[in-house]
Amino acid sequence: MNFGVIGPGDIGEVIIMKLRDAGYPVKMANSRGPASLKDLAAKTGATPASLEQVVQDVDVLFIVVPQKAIPALPKGLLKKARKETIVIDVGNYYPFRDGRIAELENGLTESVWVERQIGRPMVKVLNTIASKALIAAGRPAGSRDRVALPISGDNTKAKEIVAQLIDRIGFDSVDAGTIAESWRQQPGSPVYCTNPTKDELQSWLKKVARSSLATNRERALKAFYPTRDADYQAQIEAIDRY
């Protein structure tokens, strides 16, 4: 399999390194063009590309940009991708960073909004794990403390392929339903950045209160944001306090 990543920033870079460590070739693109990615290419082995190039001839395309950048992607960009390419939404909506987006404030599921913007069905995964945890928490299959990630989307086959990939990079997963139901894994959910095991994830997904997501997101942000540059252990302690 081969991969494209739009947005090799904080978490996009970690996704690239996890894919590289699993032996996969990766292309990457940002808004500033391939020349701006020279150092990252030397560090990760990923190939710099333009946005037009990164969507072409890949099996899986990760979109890893802040929500506010989604409408800034070139119009019709995904028309250049193959029909079978699995497109993954790693993003989250944070009003303090993205500005207020009326449809999301009115309760539209975040990935449904992203799908409408880019004009393609998507699979939502990896939005619930912080970059430091993605670096540190991978474990061999069967490990007692293996962290599990929710996967949402409307295409069952695509979700199965993504689940195999998530297993390859050291994590369990749980099918969390359709893309319309993917609010269960949005910021403010009990499964968001709390590094659950598979049993915990299955149980916690059933307990998400949609009406509390925005309030809990803002509370969690206060607890977690000061530790955003800390290591995985310090982040776990902040999450436990929250």
Ligand X SMILES: NC(=O)c1ccc[n+]([C@@H]2O[C@H](COP(=O)([O-])OP(=O)(O)OC[C@H]3O[C@@H](n4cnc5c(N)ncnc54)[C@H](OP(=O)(O)O)[C@@H]3O)[C@@H](O)[C@H]2O)c1
Helices (H), 123-231: 131-136, 156-168, 198-205, 213-224
Helix (H) or strand (E) holding 151: strand 148-153
Q: Enumerate residues 11-40 that contact ligand X by CB under 6 A.
A: 11-12, 30-32
Work out which of 44, 85, 92, 182 binds ligand X, going by CB under 6 A: 92
Work out which of 26, 55, 64, 118 binds ligand X, going by CB under 6 A: 64
**Alpha-carbon distance 82 to 138, whole Å?**
30
Please compute Rg for the chain using Cα positions: 17
Work out which of 91, 150, 177, 188 binds ligand X, going by CB under 6 A: 91
Work out which of 4, 6, 183, 208 binds ligand X, going by CB under 6 A: 6
β-pair type (86-89, 60-63)? parallel
- Nearest residue to 121 via CA among 69, 93, 162, 164: 162
| Residue number closest to ligand X, CB atom | 9
Q: How far is the CB of 142 from ligand X (least distance, A)?
A: 25
Q: CA of 14: how far to CAs of 84, 154, 181, in Å?
A: 25, 26, 27
Q: How far is the CB of 127 from ligand X (least distance, A)?
A: 5
The residue (of 92 and 111) whose beta carbon lies closer to ligand X is 92
**Alpha-carbon distance 72 to 164, whole Å?**
31
The residue (of 30 and 173) whose beta carbon lies closer to ligand X is 30
**Helices 232-241 and 213-224, packing angle to 10 deg:** 130
Contact 122, 153 (CB under 8 A): yes
Q: How far is the CB of 187 from ligand X (least distance, A)?
A: 8
Work out which of 85, 109, 111, 127 binds ligand X, going by CB under 6 A: 127
The residue (of 30 and 152) whose beta carbon lies closer to ligand X is 30
The residue (of 157 and 231) whose beta carbon lies closer to ligand X is 231
The residue (of 114 and 163) whose beta carbon lies closer to ligand X is 114
Residues that bind ligand X (CB under 6 A): 6-12, 30-32, 64-67, 69, 72-73, 90-92, 127, 130-131
